[in-house]
Amino acid sequence: MYVAPARVVEAQAAWLRAAAGYMGEAWQPFQGDELMAQWLAPDLRLAHTCGYPLVTQLWGKVRVVGTPRYELVHSSGGTHCSLVLCREQAPFVTLADAVGSRGLVNGWDSNSGMNLFRHTLQAVHDGAFFSEVIVTGGHRASMHSLRQGLGDLAAVDSITYDYLAREYSEEVQGLRVLARSVRSPCLPLITSLGSSDAEVEVLREALNWTLPEFAVALGIEEVMPAAAYGGLLQLEAQVMESRFSWA
């Protein structure tokens, strides 16, 4: 799930332990840092993935358990967005003012940090947007690089931002929201492809049954049935049909 402040991380782990206990199972965290190996593990019970890898790399290889409905400042009703951030003192009034600046991307497989970002940029400038683009490796790394002046513009998942802002984290200090992307389904929860319909239902039931104790800390009200993630490819197609380029 999200890399977030300690209170959220602790609540995430406690929720998953409780859900596993509801199903009469023991919670066993995945060992290792390779996300694709985790997502494609044949014995995977539950994982959080990003919507863009889901539709570009995992479709037909995993099953979607559901879509969390976060209720935070910039996330509601099962959707979130990308917040395009700049430094507070940046001279940009509108997104178009940032053409020719330096861009920060957390990773080329990210929906909020890349796919929604480029869709937002293309809407205001149908050509080369940045003078250069730097890949940071993560949303929090992008925010750090932005604060340090290593780039001028970054797109951060609104849930990550809301978590940090809610905890009054220094990670959001000195930054401001310049623009917002279109809304997108929240990051899906997945299980192994071999899971049956009944097993998927039990997983979602377990998550919802045990959620109330952790709902405030997590900002999650329920795990909904899977949203329509195919729309992310439509956003990609709009950009691909244009003259947009990162730099």
pLDDT in tens, the chain (247 residues): 687 889 999 999 999 999 999 999 998 888 777 889 999 999 999 999 999 999 999 999 999 999 999 999 999 999 999 999 999 999 999 999 999 999 999 999 999 999 999 999 999 999 999 999 999 999 999 999 999 999 999 999 999 999 999 987 899 999 999 999 999 999 999 999 999 999 999 999 999 999 999 999 999 999 999 999 999 999 999 999 999 999 9
Asked, for residue 205, whether it belongs to a domain, the answer is yes
Asked, for residue 240, whether it belongs to a domain, the answer is no
How many structural domains comprise the chain? 2
CA 187, CA 195: separation in Å to the nearest integer? 20
Q: What CATH code is carried by the domain that includes residue 132? A: 3.40.190.10
pLDDT of residue 122: 98
pLDDT of residue 98: 98
8 A C-beta contact, residue 17 and residue 25: no
pLDDT of residue 1: 67
8 A C-beta contact, residue 2 and residue 159: yes
Residue range(s) defining the domain that contains residue 127: 79-183
One-letter identity of residue 70:
Y
pLDDT of residue 169: 85
Last residue of a domain, one of 183, 217, 242: 183
Structure tokens at 150: 């290593």
Same domain, 114 and 162: yes
State the pTM of this model: 0.95
Q: What CATH code is carried by the domain that includes residue 57? A: 3.40.190.180
